[in-house]
Amino acid sequence: MMNPVIRRVDWVLVLSAITLVLLGLTTMKSFGPPAGGDSTFTTSVALNYYFSRQIFWLVLGAIVFFLALNINWDFLKINSITLLFSYFIVVLFLAFLLFSGATIRGASSWYKIYSVAIQPVEFMKIMLILILAKYFARRHVEIARFSTIFISGTYAAIPTALVALQPDFGSAAVLAFLWLGMALVGGIKTRHIGLLSGLAIIGVVVLWNFYFLPHQKDRILAFLEPARDVRGSGYHALQSTIAGNDNFIFFRHDSLENFAIGNLRRIEF
């Protein structure tokens, strides 16, 4: 008889993740030293370090994944206190980041513990999915009420605002879209969709004019039209396209070093 733990595995999801992992490791292994630059032993060791570290975290993640499969999570269906407590604990960690977080590349989004950086927003993504799933499941009949939309939106708005203040707009947008997607699947009314669309348009205008930094605007414009700045903000998008069209599994990223923005070549692809 098949092990019940194995039976609970979503193998389509697992195989999809494994495929992405293998592609990522392949591209990381293909990194070469800077074109026309240093190709010494030190450079090779540095490049292999990131590859080896990635494998370490992948193995650790796989262990945690299979350990989690052995836990019966059904208690979350009836135990609201545990879920709410965990949610507010992560919210507190997000709030404390604004005062004591390590600033990396302009955002105070991490707690540094020796050489390890922990980003609480990643835990919040999981907590938000769980708490919204429980909330909508218990109030699916009341989804048409504005109060239901408002309360569920508050669950998402608090961490979204804290993350935006770090500032980390990308992660804040992910949290906002998590709520929006689950609300839409939950069956909110057309009038609520219209209201949310109007608020979204107003929010985008306000963010664009008063919140977004120049480099964030460049990223959005480059996403919409990479060719507008082929040597700047649109560079990575175009190089990714070239890599994909030119058998990207064996694509070497040497040319990234010709530009200052290529100093994070190990993660950009």
CA distance 82 to 69: 19
Of residues 227 and 99, more confidence is placed in: 99
- Picking from 152, 156, 149, the residue whose alpha carbon sits closest to that of residue 121 is 156
Whether residue 260 is predicted with pLDDT greater than 50 in this model: the reply is: no
Cα R_g (the chain), whole angstroms: 22
153's CB contacts (< 8 A; 6+ apart) are: 179, 183
pLDDT tens for 8-24 read 777 888 889 889 888 88
What amino acid is encoded at 59 in this protein? V
Report residue 88 CA to chain centroid gap.
20
Q: Would you list the domain boundaries of the chain?
A: 73-212, 220-268
Report residue 63 CA to chain centroid gap.
21
pLDDT tens for 110-128 read 788 777 778 888 899 999 9
Q: Which sign does the torsion angle of CA 137, 142, 147, 149 carry?
A: positive
What is the average pLDDT score of the chain?
Answer: 75
Of residues 125 and 226, more confidence is placed in: 125
Q: Which of 38-47, 139-148, 161-170, 209-218 has the lowest mean pLDDT?
A: 38-47
* Contact (CB, 8 A) for 108 and 102: yes
The reported pTM is 0.70
CA distance 17 to 7: 18
Q: Which of 65-69, 120-124, 232-236 has the lowest mean pLDDT?
A: 232-236
